[in-house]
């Protein structure tokens, strides 16, 4: 059973509306907490946010059982994690010992006996949120932030959009180290089965030696491939054949052990944990076979491997190989993230891109923004040449007055005149401000994703965007508080 938040104040606790947040702090935490406090004390915003959270976390569940973490606390913890670009270990320490965070969560007391949270509890509760839920909360935050930024003025939105790469938490892949990854994880599985009593260990007395030899051959093969010399090709093939020979013997031995595990499970029954371990073992065994084949074809037979057959990480198989032509980053491993920000820096739209070109993203992006803000609220939308397609630009122009997307390649007379207009040039120059919004996202954790799996990747990005928007909203509120205090001081 979960509550939105505990309505009855704990003895010695400070009401969330009365928590004192340092308005002059330059740390990233203070604006985020200020924005969270503003949402909590503004009834309309609080109700909207809680409706979204309840639909996801409590949807279809009975109101029985012991109390779980409150919905408000789940949101605060998730946002603080990305706002500070913290891993779960640091987050656990801050949630249990940082007084301001605990006051905003509503758990801290002057007696120091507030509830503490375990690392696993924090992980499990943050993972209850998903990309869709966080996107809906982000819509609420963006609209509220824009109202604060306008401060009663009539001002239409000037949208800027771009993509950049959020990396997955993987090492750089090579043929040699991916084969080694598969082999070592298979050996890890064998050791786990032996320790658990599922395998009797017969034939695996030298399991540590298998690991040592496989790693040694991986290193010598990698060194030969990256080295030079007149007879480099012969040396590489010689080392790789030896490496593949050991990998083949290991594969045959592991295959026999997997059959033995199945026989043991069929006769004695299997616990859920053993089933999961066996699924993991089978996955890495398949990867071992796959990369034996790929290494042999590419290096020994000198074939060119089709892109569709390549895997860039065994642990994050959804990872893409992306090359954007940057001088400092020739190759990036992860996914493109498309964002759309306004003139105040609020990210009104984001999407994790899976194997799509930029040009295919502009229509769904424009559709989402029009549905969110309405035609009358958007003055312009700008993007770089990668998003250009004549038909798409003309379609968007029916709803948004100024569509600033330069054409790729040679322009005709009409297109040249359009791109030479002062308004077009002015908005095109202002488009570069989207790079500062990207930099801000990278400082809120969206440079490298620490969560696992594609769903974890999407949730991580959504939390990062929400944290960045709360930081922007909080900065506006902090400035407002400082101005109010300065006005009071001068009046006194």
pLDDT in tens, 434-461: 999 999 999 888 999 999 999 999 999 9
Cα separation of 115 and 372, whole Å? 39
Distance in Å from the first CA to the final CA of the chain: 51
Phi and psi for 162 in degrees, rounded to 5? -165, 170
| pLDDT one-digit tens code per residue, 389-404 | 999 999 999 999 999 9
pLDDT of residue 282: 93
What per-residue confidence (pLDDT) applies to 95? Answer: 93
Q: What is the pLDDT of residue 89?
A: 95
pLDDT at residue 274 in the model? 74
Q: What are phi and psi of 165, to 5 degrees?
A: -95, 125
The pLDDT score that the predictor gives to residue 350 is 95
Beta strands in 126-177 (DSSP E): 157-168
- pTM comes to 0.91
Q: How much is the pLDDT for 201?
A: 77
Rg (CA), the chain: 28
Burial of 434 (0-12, 13-18, 19+ CB in 10 A): buried
- Cα–Cα distance for residue pair 197/183, rounded to 1 Å: 21
pLDDT of amino acid 9: 63
Strands (E), 68-187: 157-168
Neighbours of 222 (CB within 10 A): 19
CA 219 – CA 299 distance, rounded (Å): 16
Neighbours of 294 (CB within 10 A): 18
Q: What is the pLDDT of residue 252?
A: 93
* SS3 assignment, position 257: helix
Write down how long the chain is: 492
pLDDT (0 to 100) of residue 368 = 93
- Residue 113's pLDDT is 67
The Cα 130–Cα 135 span in angstroms is 9
Instruction: Give dist(CA 389, CA 403) in Å, integer.
Output: 12
pLDDT at 269: 65
Rounded CA-CA distance 360/226 in Å is 38
Q: Which residue has the tokens 């060119």?
A: 304
Low-confidence ranges of the chain (pLDDT < 70): 1, 7-12, 60, 63-65, 109-113, 269-273, 325, 327
């Amino acid at each position: 059973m979960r509550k939105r938040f505990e309505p009855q104040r704990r003895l010695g606790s400070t009401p969330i509306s009365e928590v004192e947040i340092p308005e002059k702090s330059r740390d990233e935490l203070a604006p985020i907490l200020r924005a969270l406090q503003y949402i909590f004390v503004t009834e309309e915003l609080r109700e909207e946010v809680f409706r979204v959270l309840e639909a996801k976390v409590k949807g279809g569940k009975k109101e029985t059982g012991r109390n779980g973490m409150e919905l408000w606390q789940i949101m605060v913890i998730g946002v603080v994690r990305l706002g500070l670009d913290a891993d779960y270990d640091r987050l656990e320490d801050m949630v249990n010992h940082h007084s301001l965070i605990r006051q905003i969560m509503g758990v801290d007391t002057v007696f120091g006996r507030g509830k503490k949270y375990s690392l696993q509890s924090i992980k499990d509760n943050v993972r209850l949120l998903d990309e869709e839920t966080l996107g809906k909360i982000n819509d609420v935050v963006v609209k509220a932030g824009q109202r604060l930024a306008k401060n009663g003025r009539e001002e239409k939105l000037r949208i800027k959009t771009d993509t950049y790469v959020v990396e997955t938490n993987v090492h750089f892949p090579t043929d040699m180290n991916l084969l080694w990854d598969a082999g070592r994880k298979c050996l890890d599985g064998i050791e786990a089965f032996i320790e658990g009593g599922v395998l009797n260990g017969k034939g695996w007395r030298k399991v540590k030696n298998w690991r040592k030899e496989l790693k040694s051959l991986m290193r010598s093969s990698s060194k030969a491939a990256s080295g030079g010399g007149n007879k480099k090709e012969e040396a590489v093939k010689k080392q790789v054949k030896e490496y593949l020979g050991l990998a083949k013997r290991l594969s045959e031995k592991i295959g026999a052990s997997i059959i033995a595990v199945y026989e043991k499970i069929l006769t004695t029954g299997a616990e859920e944990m053993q089933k999961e371990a066996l699924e993991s073992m089978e996955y890495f065994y398949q990867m071992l076979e796959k990369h034996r084949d790929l290494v042999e074809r590419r290096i020994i037979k000198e074939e060119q491997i089709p892109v569709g057959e390549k895997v860039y990480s065994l642990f994050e198989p959804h990872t893409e190989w992306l090359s954007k032509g940057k001088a400092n980053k020739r190759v990036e491993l992860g996914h493109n993230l498309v964002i759309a920000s306004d003139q105040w820096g609020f990210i009104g739209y984001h999407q994790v891109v899976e194997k799509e070109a930029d040009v295919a993203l502009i229509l769904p992006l424009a559709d989402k923004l029009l549905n969110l803000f309405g035609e009358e609220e958007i003055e312009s939308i700008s993007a770089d040449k990668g998003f250009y397609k004549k038909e798409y630009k003309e379609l968007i122009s029916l709803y948004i007055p100024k569509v600033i997307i330069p054409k790729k390649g040679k322009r005709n007379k009409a297109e040249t005149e359009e791109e030479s207009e002062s308004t077009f040039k002015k908005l095109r120059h202002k488009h570069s401000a989207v790079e500062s919004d990207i930099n801000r996202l990278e400082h809120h954790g969206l440079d490298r994703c620490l969560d696992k799996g594609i769903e974890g990747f999407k949730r991580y990005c959504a939390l990062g965007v929400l944290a960045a928007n709360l930081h922007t909203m909080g900065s506006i509120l902090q400035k407002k508080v400082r101005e109010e205090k300065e006005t009071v001081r001068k009046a006194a």
